[in-house]
Structure 1
Amino acid sequence: MKTIKINKSILLLLSVAILTVSCNDFLDVNENPNSPSISTPSLTLPVAQQEMAQLNGTDMTYLGNMLVVNWATPSNWSANSLFARYSFTATSYDDIFERSYVYMFKNLTYVENYTDPTGAADYSTYKAISQIMKGYQYQLLVDLYGDIPFTEANLRGENTTPKYDDAATVYKSVIDSLTSAANLALNLPDNAEDPGTQDIILGGHMDEWAQFANTIKLRMLVRLSNTNDDAYIASQIASIDANGAGYITADISANPGYTASAEKQSPFYDYFIAESGTQQDRNDFTVASKHTIEYLTSINDDRLSRLYLPAAASGNFKGAEQSTVLPGTGFTNLDLSHVGPGLLKSAEQDQVIMSLAEALFIQAEATERGYITGGDSAQDLYEAAIAASYEFLEVPDASTAAAAYYAQPIANVSWASSPNKIEAIMTQKWIALNGTSSIESWIDLTRTGFPAGLPIPAESDGVRPVRLLYPASEVSRNSDNVPSQTANDIFTQNPFWK
């Protein structure tokens, strides 16, 4: 795993860039991106990257873990009733939409459009990175919302009420952008600026950015597996093969120099543990789900003790149902397992954006579906993905333990014992993304129906959400363009690729 450390002066520059580039008004910005402010790409890029890390490491991860039933709430807390009733509204997790446009896309567009006023510097490197980051986040927004602002988005003062583009069109446009960005990353001008440690994700290693672009693109192509567009998928896989960069070979993570200080901790860690070392309320009211504890126990999964802590009261692993009517006895925060040491490692831990395990599972699925040929087998990729998950969670003697685990003759553990290979891949991917990119597990669940058997809270109407609602703030500000919606849409308006 690559960790990029940045000294205090860089952290100060990040703070300055936040003040000079960011804006509190959603899609309402008063500066022309073609009229540069006092910032530069070297200051603005790490701000957008930190925002990506922050958003993916906090609300998106929490939402995903709840919706795929990794986590629950103890009986002595009233928090999270949303997940027991699926009572989503236009303000539920609205910051995913808003922060993507305000803090990420705004800054990335500035970087992408920046021209050195002296004409001496070439910023192609920054442009490629910005396009890849945009591709990553646009994919998520389409998967979570459907139609979104795209062609008219990020124009700042030129258009503060952008139209909404068709989700399928956005998807293919993003795929094209990722293709171009990967090719640019691999064919930079000799005088292109090197971001070095200002790139808090990959340290300016453009071959790795090309691999990341290819992996995001493959994730999107696999997601199109239900659309009967195999010819398109094949042509796009061929373009990935043509650039020769391959796919990521290590976790894609951000780290600007996280430390155990106020507002400088790694985002996921800070979400649960304060800089003083005491737990945040969220750590108290977030516990393991009964279903996941029982499932991991039933398949002898060594990752159980890395994903969860033993309950304080008993020393045993115990989870709760997602419900607001749990019994008061035996289901308090002390009676239940909390988020474990394989996820909450330290205030300095890297913030994962895409894990190697996820990338390998994506390749395993693509290979099993026949999209990728001539390389490692789907089984080899599947087993390598499990091993990468064991490594990430720091299971003792991870490689040996992983091999012993997936050798068990259990369906959806051993490849040979799994009659439905896609179900096996999705089930193991769900386990591997517990606590990290679990929002992808929710999207995969909507797409494939796996992992099978995830319980639906009894207090809901028995139907799982498949999307989010557009934010109330966007409905208010851009009412002529936001697609009409009702509260029931979260259950009925499937993504276009479903």
Structure 2
Amino acid sequence: MRNVTSLLIALGIVVGFIGCESFTKGYDTNPLAPSDAPAEKVFAGAEAAFIEFTEGYPSMLASIWAQQIHGAERQFSGYNSYTVSSQDFANDWFLAYTRVLANLRLTQQKAAASGANNLVGVAKILEGIHMGTVAALWGDVPYSEAARPDVTTTPKYDNQLDVYTAVQNVLSDGITTLSSNKRPLAQDAFSYAGNPDLWIKAAHSAKARYFMHVARHNGYDAATLNQVISEAQQGITALSGGEDLMFKHPTGTYQGDMNLWYSFLVFDRSGYIDAVGNFAFPMMKALPRDGKTDESGRMKYYFTSDGKDLNTSDGAYTETSPYPVIRASETHLLMAEAYARLGDVSNALAHLNMARQYNNNVFKNHSQDFTATDFPTANALLQAILNEEYLSLMHQIEAFNFLRRVNYNVAYTDSLGNTVRLTPTNGTQFPQRFLYSSDEINSNPHTPVQRAEDLFNPTRVNQ
């Protein structure tokens, strides 16, 4: 981590978020004038930075590499053919550690000192959700010594598997702490509006997500898959979408609380990304050939009618459209996949159908439930689940995480009966990770040696 980053952490600086000024108004962001903001203000800054990280550039790059959107111009055209450098990740590494993790740790310290265990618990849960994503994207990363300037300004890199274990622990701690004081938060930028029961559900869904992240490394063993199921059963499951963890963009004000994708597509970098040649739209268009699937609502929500651009008029990417962190459909599909890999066809099918019912309710699809006779083999059912996971994680970082875990194994049947699979947009290999930041490489001697070809080398959990 950059030494200047550690200095800011040591001074207790709360760094604001230009895209969410309404959440962070009143922050002191002058690095020469330390802030002594209360825990609630620090948490607001952490949430705002988390939104910038999760909904911003990393989600767009992940979506390009998941072939759910298309990099069209300037550097984004290069991203489409897997041309990136360590400099491209400097801002997001800074965001991940200095503005998200550091502020969440500071929130926990301040809230604990005032006896606000409800805020401590939510901050721990958000830390777990965030650092699970960081580990998924970069592999080995600083965590045990990160955001601890009293210990070191050049934190060591922890094994990715150890980070996932630590993430599970902090999520469990967050659940326990929040359960001890279920008072609603006074301020919360997310859709939960400080509701402790919903935050606990989000934590369980996150635990299910991250147990599935390591399941491949564990050979999809029964112990890991049953952990996925156990946590998911306690997670976000409402088929109405009412429990989904979402970012709110209520006024759609530019450089205020505007949806970040709309801001990028319309104001900031118009033309840099579109949906030309994406894989998701023709996949949704082809699925109704099974006689039971209708994707008309979800197609309209995300894309224009020709599938060549994103819907910025009345769908996912208007000024005020919410952006997902965890949907109930993901939780049900994690259970569906786990049950399928355990050989439990009945429960796998039930949760696949629940995800489809969610799509009917939230996106106005008109799909019918599948029955066991719709799938001649267990592999056919598993493939249907994987295909739905890919679509249900539309335009999220998690879609990229999912694809790497399953070797980009999603496919559909075209009008001629041919199987169409994801293939690399350039060369013969898919991207497997984000690169370490150039600033981190230059300032932290513990940063692993990085070569250009490492972009295509799987992280530990996917080896």
Range class of TM-score, shorter chain: 0.7 to 0.9
Determine which of 262, 276, 282 is the counterpart of 1:288: 276
1:338 CA displacement? 3.8
Kindly indicate whether the alpha-carbon contact (under 8 Å) linking 1:43 and 1:198 is maintained by their aligned counterparts in 2: no
1:135 corresponds to which residue?
128
**TM-score when scaled to structure 2?**
0.81
More divergent stretch after superposition (337-346 vs 179-188): 337-346
- Residue 387 of structure 1 aligns to a residue whose secondary structure is helix
1:44 CA displacement? 1.4
2:405 corresponds to which residue?
447
1:173 corresponds to which residue?
166
1:80 corresponds to which residue?
76
Kindly indicate whether the alpha-carbon contact (under 8 Å) linking 2:254 and 2:263 is maintained by their aligned counterparts in 1: no
Determine which of 180, 193, 196 is the counterpart of 1:187: 180
1:408 CA displacement? 10
Determine which of 118, 141, 154 is the counterpart of 1:148: 141
Q: Does 1:43 align with 2:41?
A: yes
Distance 1:422 1:246, change over 3 A: same
- Residue 352 of structure 1 aligns to a residue whose secondary structure is strand
2:224 corresponds to which residue?
233
Kindly indicate whether the alpha-carbon contact (under 8 Å) linking 2:275 and 2:310 is maintained by their aligned counterparts in 1: yes
2:367 corresponds to which residue?
402
1:407 CA displacement? 4.9
- The letter for the 2-side match of 1:308 is F
- The letter for the 2-side match of 1:443 is N
- C-alpha deviations, 1:234-272, integer Å up to 9, x for none? 78569749xx95445321012274433443312233222
1:211 CA displacement? 0.9
1:349 corresponds to which residue?
321
**RMSD (Å) for aligned C-alpha atoms:** 3.3
- The letter for the 2-side match of 1:59 is Y
Distance 1:340 1:361, change over 3 A: farther
1:282 CA displacement? 3.4
- Residue 49 of structure 1 aligns to a residue whose secondary structure is helix
Q: Does 1:380 align with 2:371?
A: no
- Residue 282 of structure 2 aligns to a residue whose secondary structure is helix
1:223 CA displacement? 1.9
CA distance in 1, matches of 2:273, 2:230: 47
- Residue 164 of structure 1 aligns to a residue whose secondary structure is coil
- Of Structure 1 and Structure 2, the greater helix share is in 2
1:309 corresponds to which residue?
304
Q: Does 1:95 align with 2:91?
A: yes
CA distance in 2, matches of 1:123, 1:156: 24
Distance 1:378 1:141, change over 3 A: same
Q: Does 1:464 align with 2:426?
A: no
Correspondences of 1:477-496 after superposition (within 5 Å):
477-478=443-444, 480-496=445-461
- Residue 197 of structure 1 aligns to a residue whose secondary structure is coil
- The letter for the 2-side match of 1:287 is A
Task: Calculate percent identity across the aligned residue pairs.
Answer: 16
Kindly indicate whether the alpha-carbon contact (under 8 Å) linking 1:258 and 1:264 is maintained by their aligned counterparts in 2: yes
Determine which of 424, 430, 433 is the counterpart of 2:393: 433
- C-alpha deviations, 1:128-179, integer Å up to 9, x for none? 1111111111111111111111111111354221111111111111112211
1:106 CA displacement? 1.1
Q: Does 1:207 align with 2:197?
A: yes
Kindly indicate whether the alpha-carbon contact (under 8 Å) linking 2:71 and 2:80 is maintained by their aligned counterparts in 1: no
**TM-score when scaled to structure 1?**
0.76
- Residue 475 of structure 1 aligns to a residue whose secondary structure is helix
- C-alpha deviations, 1:339-379, integer Å up to 9, x for none? 465643532222321122222212222232349x9x98221
CA distance in 1, matches of 2:69, 2:317: 18
- C-alpha deviations, 1:388-438, integer Å up to 9, x for none? 23443x33xx4xx122xx5599x9xx6678743332212111112223x2x
Distance 1:297 1:493, change over 3 A: closer
Distance 1:133 1:205, change over 3 A: same
CA distance in 1, matches of 2:346, 2:118: 31
Determine which of 46, 55, 58 is the counterpart of 2:56: 58
1:7 corresponds to which residue?
none
1:42 CA displacement? 1.1
2:418 corresponds to which residue?
none
- C-alpha deviations, 1:166-215, integer Å up to 9, x for none? 11111111112211211222222xxx764233453422211111111111
- Residue 273 of structure 1 aligns to a residue whose secondary structure is helix
> What are structure 2's unaligned runs of at least 5 residues?
1-19, 289-294, 412-420
1:366 corresponds to which residue?
338
- Residue 253 of structure 1 aligns to a residue whose secondary structure is strand
Distance 1:255 1:308, change over 3 A: closer
Kindly indicate whether the alpha-carbon contact (under 8 Å) linking 1:215 and 1:359 is maintained by their aligned counterparts in 2: yes
1:305 CA displacement? 2.9
CA distance in 2, matches of 1:263, 1:13: 9
